């Protein structure tokens, strides 16, 4: 391992933020390229070229991260790079690349492709910064960079009124939550006198519980809760999933969740470990853990129960994502290294399966489906490959072995149980999560039942699948199986890296 850099010089800062810079430059290149190409050749070709450029940038950023990334802290503890953040960032880049790949398969062409790609890359830059942020202001800026890009992307089909409406809704709720977050941060600053998580930790460690601090934390949690779509701050999710362009939904559902959960865990444990409180069944004390527990319970219950009656597949996935956020919040209750590593593993593997699901939905849409259960009818006969992929991805999300979803969830539960000071302290939450999983199996099986147990419709035409879609979905399916069968190396590496 290279020596830690602790620096203020610009050269070193540039090296520490290498992947972020590469993405920013790629975004600018893409913007510029879109102007050059649009005058000379037809639109579809240039769109694919733009996507390829963005993908190349993402891969380059990943390569730098993997092979040539020094570890270190920017002086003043604003931004840091550790083994743990490297792995999480790699995961985010992988999910972003998959979402871009999904865009390659899109046959519906929108205008302003240069801006589309640039915004998408800026959102990814925001996520990467978020993972390394150690300073409240940087956390806020990175969150807003991601969120503002995503608001615009959500409303990208601006000639469709439903699309603008959703983006507006997303933006309104999002800006309120940003305001809450900022106000919470200011209260935390007022109480502790610091903006760095470690300093805050030191400053408030000696203080007794403070009602202003509590208010600040509640507001900050509400703000974060919006980003990770935890109930009751999840109202935007179903609309956004349903109407945003598929690659955007897939990015929101996968990569942005990974970043959001990672920073939430570090914010709470890095800055406020002393005020965690306890939600063990024998010993209940106030702090932020009970709040987190409440969010987890609400998310699991509301998410799963609302998903039961959804008829639109994207809305169903959105509500199930709320439930998945609830499970992942269980992992946040556990300190380093078990908590963050299990949550990151969970969100990464969940991200892979949800990107695959969006790939399948895109194929269905392009073959004239309305995105509801009806479009799945007779899928078994139309395309055996799609039906098999659907089954594997859905079973992974439902947490059935040998797919990775089961192991990731199991790992999360073990982390939550081990993380509390008294063994089995969080057993009630885990019991609730297991019960919620049983409920979720109902709607997941309903999807599979529609795909497998309906009869062949008359005059069925086969389904058109392009190479990009085929490779994307196959990749996610194979990933879900391989990670499920051989999770050992990645899991221990992640735990080890975050533990350093």
Partner 1 sequence: MLGWTVYISFISALGCFLCPSKRPDLSRHLALFATVISAFVALFCAASYTPIDGNPVVDVTKWNWIPSLGISYYLAADGISIVMVVLTGIASVAAVLFSWNIEDRANEFFGFFLILIGGVYGVFISFDLFLLFVFYEIAIIPKYFLIAIWGSTKKSYGAMKLVLYSFAGSSMALIGIMGAFIVSGGVSFDLNQLILHPYTPEFQEWAFPVTFIGFVILAGLWPFHTWAPTGHVAAPTGASMLLAGVVMKLGAYGALRVPMTLFPMGAAMWREELALLAGIGIVAGALVALVQNDFKFIIGYSSVSHMGFVLLGLLATTETGLNGAVLQMFSHGILAGLLFAVVGRMIYSRTHTRDINKLATMQLGRQFPFTAAVFLLASLASVGLPGFSGFVAELHVITGAWASYSYLALMAGTGVVIGVAYSMRALIRVFWSVDSDSNRPLQTTLPGLTIQEKAGATLLIITSLVVGIYPRLLLDIIAPSLQSPLLKPLLDQGNTL
Q: Could you list the residues that contact partner 1 (CB under 8 A)?
A: 388, 395, 400-402, 406-407, 410-411, 413-414, 417-418, 423-424, 427, 430-431, 434-435, 437-438, 441-442, 445, 448-449, 452-453, 487-488, 491-492, 495
Q: How far is the CB of 443 from partner 1 (least distance, A)?
A: 11
Alpha-carbon distance 70 to 348, whole Å?
A: 23
Q: How far is the CB of 495 from partner 1 (least distance, A)?
A: 5
User: In terms of CB distance, is 76 or 423 closer to partner 1?
Assistant: 423
348 within 8 A of 480, measured Cβ to Cβ: no
Q: Helix, strand, coil shares of the chain as percentages rounded to 5?
A: 75, 5, 20
Q: How far is the CB of 482 from partner 1 (least distance, A)?
A: 14
Cα-based torsion angle of the residue sequence 126, 294, 434, 301 in order, rounded to the nearest 10 degrees: -90
Indicate the length of the chain as a whole number.
500
Instruction: List, in sequence order, every residue forming a beta bridge with 79; answer none if it has no partner.
Output: 133
Other C-beta atoms lying within 10 Å of the C-beta of residue 5 = 18
Alpha-carbon distance 41 to 79, whole Å?
A: 42
Alpha-carbon distance 50 to 62, whole Å?
A: 18
Other C-beta atoms lying within 10 Å of the C-beta of residue 60 = 17
Any residues with CB less than 8 A from the CB of 99 and at least 6 apart, and which? Answer: 120, 247, 248, 250, 251, 254, 255, 355
Q: How far is the CB of 104 from partner 1 (least distance, A)?
A: 29
Q: How far is the CB of 417 from partner 1 (least distance, A)?
A: 5
User: In terms of CB distance, is 142 or 412 closer to partner 1?
Assistant: 412
Q: How far is the CB of 84 from partner 1 (least distance, A)?
A: 15
Pairing assessment for the beta strands 5-7 and 72-74 based on DSSP bridges: parallel
Q: How far is the CB of 229 from partner 1 (least distance, A)?
A: 24
User: In terms of CB distance, is 410 or 475 closer to partner 1?
Assistant: 410
User: In terms of CB distance, is 141 or 434 closer to partner 1?
Assistant: 434
User: In terms of CB distance, is 368 or 402 closer to partner 1?
Assistant: 402
Q: How far is the CB of 63 from partner 1 (least distance, A)?
A: 27
Return the sign of the alpha-carbon dihedral for residues 370, 376, 378, 379: positive
Alpha helix ranges (H) inside 228-337 = 236-243, 246-253, 255-272, 288-308, 313-332
User: In terms of CB distance, is 120 or 433 closer to partner 1?
Assistant: 433
456 within 8 A of 450, measured Cβ to Cβ: no
Q: How far is the CB of 185 from partner 1 (least distance, A)?
A: 35
User: In terms of CB distance, is 103 or 380 closer to partner 1?
Assistant: 380
Q: How far is the CB of 312 from partner 1 (least distance, A)?
A: 21
User: In terms of CB distance, is 137 or 441 closer to partner 1?
Assistant: 441
Tokens of 241: 């999933």
Dihedrals φ, ψ of 82, to 5°? Answer: -130, 175
Q: How far is the CB of 396 from partner 1 (least distance, A)?
A: 12
Q: How far is the CB of 364 from partner 1 (least distance, A)?
A: 21
User: In terms of CB distance, is 93 or 494 closer to partner 1?
Assistant: 494
Alpha-carbon distance 389 to 408, whole Å?
A: 19
Instruction: List, in sequence order, every residue forming a beta bridge with 285; answer none if it has no partner.
Output: 278
Alpha-carbon distance 196 to 193, whole Å?
A: 10
**Helices 246-253 + 83-105 axis angle, to 10:** 160
User: In terms of CB distance, is 255 or 398 closer to partner 1?
Assistant: 398
Any residues with CB less than 8 A from the CB of 234 and at least 6 apart, and which? Answer: 299, 302, 303, 322, 325
Dihedrals φ, ψ of 312, to 5°? Answer: -95, 130
Angle 356-361-362 (CA atoms, 0-180°, nearest 5)? 95
User: In terms of CB distance, is 110 or 428 closer to partner 1?
Assistant: 428
User: In terms of CB distance, is 319 or 413 closer to partner 1?
Assistant: 413
């Amino acid at each position: 391992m290279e020596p830690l850099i602790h620096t203020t010089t610009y050269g070193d800062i540039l090296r520490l933020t290498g992947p972020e810079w590469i993405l920013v430059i790629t975004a600018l290149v893409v913007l510029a390229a879109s102007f050059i190409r649009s005058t000379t050749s037809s639109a579809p070709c240039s769109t694919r070229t733009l996507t390829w450029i963005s993908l190349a940038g993402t891969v380059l950023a990943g390569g730098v991260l993997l092979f040539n990334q020094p570890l270190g802290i920017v002086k003043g503890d604003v931004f840091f790079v550790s083994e743990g953040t490297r792995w999480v960032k790699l995961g985010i880049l992988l999910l972003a690349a998959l979402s871009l790949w999904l865009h390659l398969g899109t046959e519906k062409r929108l205008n302003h492709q240069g801006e589309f790609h640039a915004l998408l890359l800026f959102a990814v830059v925001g996520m990467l910064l978020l993972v390394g942020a150690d300073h409240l202001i940087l956390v806020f800026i990175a969150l807003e960079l991601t969120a503002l890009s995503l608001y615009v992307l959500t409303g990208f089909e601006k000639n469709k009124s439903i699309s603008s409406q959703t983006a507006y809704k997303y933006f309104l709720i999002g800006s309120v939550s940003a305001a809450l977050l900022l106000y919470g941060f200011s209260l935390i600053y007022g109480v502790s006198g610091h903006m760095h998580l470690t300093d805050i930790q030191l400053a408030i460690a000696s203080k007794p519980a403070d009602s202003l601090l509590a208010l600040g934390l509640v507001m900050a949690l509400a703000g974060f809760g919006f980003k990770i779509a935890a109930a009751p701050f999840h109202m935007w999710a179903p609309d956004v999933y349903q109407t945003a362009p598929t690659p955007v939904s897939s990015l929101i559902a996968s990569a942005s969740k990974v970043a959001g959960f990672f920073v939430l865990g570090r914010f709470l444990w890095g800055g406020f470990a002393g005020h965690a409180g306890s939600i063990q069944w024998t010993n209940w004390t106030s702090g932020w853990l009970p709040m987190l527990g409440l969010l987890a319970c609400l998310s699991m219950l509301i998410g799963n129960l609302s998903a039961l009656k959804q008829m639109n597949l994207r809305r169903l996935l959105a509500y199930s994502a709320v439930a998945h956020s609830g499970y992942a919040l269980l992992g946040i209750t556990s300190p380093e290294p078990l908590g963050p590593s299990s949550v990151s593993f969970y969100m990464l593997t969940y991200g892979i399966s949800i990107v695959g699901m969006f790939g399948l939905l895109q194929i269905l849409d392009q073959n004239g489906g309305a995105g509801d259960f009806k479009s799945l009818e007779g899928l078994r006969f139309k395309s055996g490959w799609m039906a098999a992929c659907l089954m594997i991805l859905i079973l992974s999300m439902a947490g059935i072995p040998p797919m990775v979803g089961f192991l990731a969830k199991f790992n999360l539960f073990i982390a939550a149980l081990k993380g509390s000071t008294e063994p089995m302290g969080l057993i009630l939450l885990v019991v609730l999560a297991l019960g919620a999983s049983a409920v979720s199996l109902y709607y997941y099986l309903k999807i599979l039942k529609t795909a497998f147990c309906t009869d062949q419709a008359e005059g069925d035409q086969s389904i058109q699948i392009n190479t990009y879609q085929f490779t994307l979905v196959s990749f996610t399916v194979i990933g879900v199986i391989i990670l499920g069968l051989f999770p050992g190396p990645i899991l221990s590496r992640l735990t080890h890296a975050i533990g350093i």
